[in-house]
Structure 1
């Protein structure tokens, strides 16, 4: 087995980037978008958005479905983080936070039948902040909120504006420091991938091999995985089956998608397909692999600043017809602290569900390919993470993309 050099895992102490500069850049990007959208401030509940704006964390996955922690960011004014009184000590040392306050939780889990009462109290607190720092502007962006919160704010005279688009557009251009953090996450993922390949032996279950990536991510300072897209043999066709107890056989295709939230909260979204054991690829496996690589390479080669999403969508529809029914859900998507704006669909879906825009230098995207014929035994999944540049792209994911054997 050819070993992949994992010595590229970047030390948090490396001298050529700064967490402070990263935080300042992200907050400035957010406020730039807030000004463009003429809002007095933004309230953030989403765990990833809170991380982007304040670089703070607290039970990130739990917070996705229990949004009791939130922040108010004034366009011209303070950054205020709200959390449980027993947790405010977690925010010591975060230099961009101006104030900490106890939260007013109003999810049904936390407030039960008093949730509407608590929503009114929460809205009163937020409305006071808008009036204090908005300079007469009553427009407030919110990223995630249920109707009772909207109605309570409106009764306070606040105009609620959709906020997810504001922060998605802020997140789309990465700074030098963000790219350094992302490279740390990718190095962690690729170290874990190599250890998965070392652990991929005939007779191992899909879950046993997949768990190796989780373990290594935690050991190296990562955070969580967004899914469990790891499958083998006939479970690779069609795509999107998650890891199971199936025992992997010698000669099986094994395909996976890391979807890994790693160091500093950045995502490494990389797909590879391997052959388990020492078997040579069959003619069918080799054909599927070469078709997937050709599709991926053609689509990556057209990437450069100035390319429109519509142009990408139209030109990316280049798989042989027999594979198009099961091709991946999108040709490419943005990547940062998770999958993010934009999602660029294939041309077949673009006219009904797509939207236009332009690739810009400094955007990071993932280009995808899945090849598997309807009724076929196996499929191949490959994906590369890249940085858009003026003249093309820089490859960020370094792990070999060849159809490698596990031994």
Structure 2
């Protein structure tokens, strides 16, 4: 994987005929990554409920946000690549057109919403079928990886001799490295995000509400084939400090800082995670606003320069840009995190948080990562949030987005 062709591929328009070939490549790559993890850990199969994991393994999508709360469809992937899918009511058509060795069945939901006080009994019916399918396709095996499972289901499987393993860890590891074709799809999502951000900036003016502005991000995402937005992180004025205020009906005032984090799941189910800070209205930012921005810009770009394949997570944390003391209390929750279909492994802790939240690992070529910064003083009235999405290449990392920073503030 070389940097120039890789980055060119992420920034080019995808022609329809080329898109079909890219999707075939991506589907094969992702399923093979799941199989590789199963074989590596001597696990015959994995049962998936998380809609993002199902999308990764099979490229099927069905009410993703709703299915994240309601476990109404599930998939079992075997180490040999065979797939058994239990699809939601009358939704078998979501599998049309896929070149996939799949056995389709009807899903049985046993949540309280669907089953009421019959939940435990229905879970037993569900469990009997899961055990039967596992033993049919993996005779003699008594191990199953599961990404998430409610108590009745876990209890039934364990009672009937099935040892359960952490399937989320296997899936996060599978999703860690992106293929060149995946990066093309990530690029398409990012171009949609950039168009959405551009629309927001064109529409930004004093007198509109935060919600008014945030609606343009959603509008442009959906209009370009995107899917959903995971958070509502847009704030202005004194709501920019501390970070994590959700978008509101507050009216934007001239001279306010306006801060947002896209968390946007765009076309093809890939996430574009970009944070920027702007000034509301014409004019120049104040000295305080410029100084906050200067620190956040320095943190993001210092840490981008630092990032190298082969570096451990601990080493990155130890060598990362040192946050000035007034801003340590309100620091962002991590220095960097993985990104793919959504926020993904790893999450890199600040050095001050290492003992309580840190874990080690190693950066690799092909990982996509978001470099984070939030700068806002404890007790302050303003803050700046910046975030840049990058890919690890042989000699460092490269930005995946050309979304502009306010460099004239520096």
Q: TM-score, normalised by structure 1?
A: 0.95
Q: 1:329 to 1:20 in 2, by over 3 A?
A: same
Asked if 1:380 corresponds to 2:370, the answer is no
In structure 1, runs of 5+ residues without a counterpart are: 1-7
**Match of residue 287 from structure 1:** 291
Q: CA deviation at 1:216?
A: 0.3
Q: CA deviation at 1:84?
A: 2.8
**Match of residue 5 from structure 1:** none
**Match of residue 349 from structure 2:** 345
Q: 1:33 to 1:95 in 2, by over 3 A?
A: same
Asked if 1:234 corresponds to 2:238, the answer is yes
* Alignment equivalent of 2:149, drawn from 145, 148, 162: 145
* Alignment equivalent of 1:10, drawn from 7, 13, 27: 13
In 1, are the aligned partners of 2:145 and 2:167 still within 8 Å (CA)? yes
* Alignment equivalent of 2:371, drawn from 363, 367, 383: 367
In 2, are the aligned partners of 1:185 and 1:261 still within 8 Å (CA)? yes
SS of 1:15's partner is helix
| 1:260-316 CA-partner distances (Å, limit 9, x unpaired) | 000100000000000111021110011111111111111111111011000111122
In 2, are the aligned partners of 1:274 and 1:404 still within 8 Å (CA)? no
Q: Distance in 1 between matches of 2:88 and 2:332?
A: 42
**Number of positions where the alignment pairs a residue of Structure 1 with one of Structure 2:** 398
Asked if 1:199 corresponds to 2:210, the answer is no
* Alignment equivalent of 2:163, drawn from 156, 159, 177: 159
**Match of residue 96 from structure 1:** 100
Q: Distance in 1 between matches of 2:395 and 2:142?
A: 43
SS of 2:211's partner is helix
Alpha-carbon RMSD across the aligned residues, in angstroms, is 1.4
Q: Distance in 1 between matches of 2:374 and 2:146?
A: 36
In 2, are the aligned partners of 1:9 and 1:187 still within 8 Å (CA)? no
**Match of residue 44 from structure 2:** 40
In 2, are the aligned partners of 1:10 and 1:187 still within 8 Å (CA)? no
| 1:112-159 CA-partner distances (Å, limit 9, x unpaired) | 111111111111111112112224221100001012111111122211
Q: Distance in 1 between matches of 2:318 and 2:383?
A: 24
Asked if 1:310 corresponds to 2:321, the answer is no
Q: Distance in 2 between matches of 1:332 and 1:9?
A: 26
SS of 1:273's partner is strand
Q: CA deviation at 1:107?
A: 1.1
Asked if 1:398 corresponds to 2:399, the answer is no
**Match of residue 3 from structure 1:** none
In 2, are the aligned partners of 1:26 and 1:53 still within 8 Å (CA)? yes
* Alignment equivalent of 2:226, drawn from 219, 222, 238: 222
* Alignment equivalent of 1:244, drawn from 239, 245, 248: 248
Q: Distance in 2 between matches of 1:209 and 1:226?
A: 16
In 2, are the aligned partners of 1:76 and 1:133 still within 8 Å (CA)? no
Asked if 1:106 corresponds to 2:110, the answer is yes
In 2, are the aligned partners of 1:140 and 1:159 still within 8 Å (CA)? yes
Q: 1:217 to 1:97 in 2, by over 3 A?
A: farther
| 1:339-391 CA-partner distances (Å, limit 9, x unpaired) | 00000010111112211000000000000000000121210000000001121
Q: Distance in 1 between matches of 2:318 and 2:17?
A: 42
**Match of residue 334 from structure 2:** 330
Asked if 1:125 corresponds to 2:123, the answer is no
Deviating 4+ runs (over 6 angstroms): none
Q: Which moved more, 1:128-137 or 1:256-265?
A: 128-137
Q: TM-score, normalised by structure 2?
A: 0.94
Q: 1:261 to 1:12 in 2, by over 3 A?
A: farther
Q: Distance in 2 between matches of 1:115 and 1:131?
A: 24
Q: 1:274 to 1:14 in 2, by over 3 A?
A: farther
**Match of residue 389 from structure 1:** 393
